[in-house]
Amino acid sequence: MEHLKKFRLSLGISGLDMAAKIGVSFSLYEKIERGERNASNTFLKKFKRTFPDYDLNLFFTQEAHEMCSEVI
């Protein structure tokens, strides 16, 4: 998830701070950012609530974006 990392860095915050801001564990956030784990519906929902103006297509697959739209 290079886009997710770039976005976080553009905010000037650490992964730990990003995880706290979104409301997920650092371990989960780190795995998603490194591409070791797919973003769950819960993560996508929390991310979208935290950053409503950002297009999820920049960070996640189209399928994940569609799932998020269904759960929000």
Q: What are the tens digits of pLDDT across the range 6-51?
A: 999 999 999 999 999 999 999 999 999 998 998 888 998 899 999 9
- pLDDT on residue 54: 83
Look at 23 and 66; give whichever has higher pLDDT. 23
Helices (H), 23-61: 26-33, 41-50
CATH number at residue 60: 1.10.260
For residue 3, pLDDT beyond 90: no
- pLDDT on residue 59: 61
For residue 56, pLDDT beyond 90: no
Q: Which residues form the domain of 14?
A: 2-71
Domain count, the chain: 1
Nearest to 45 by CA among 68, 64, 19, 20: 68
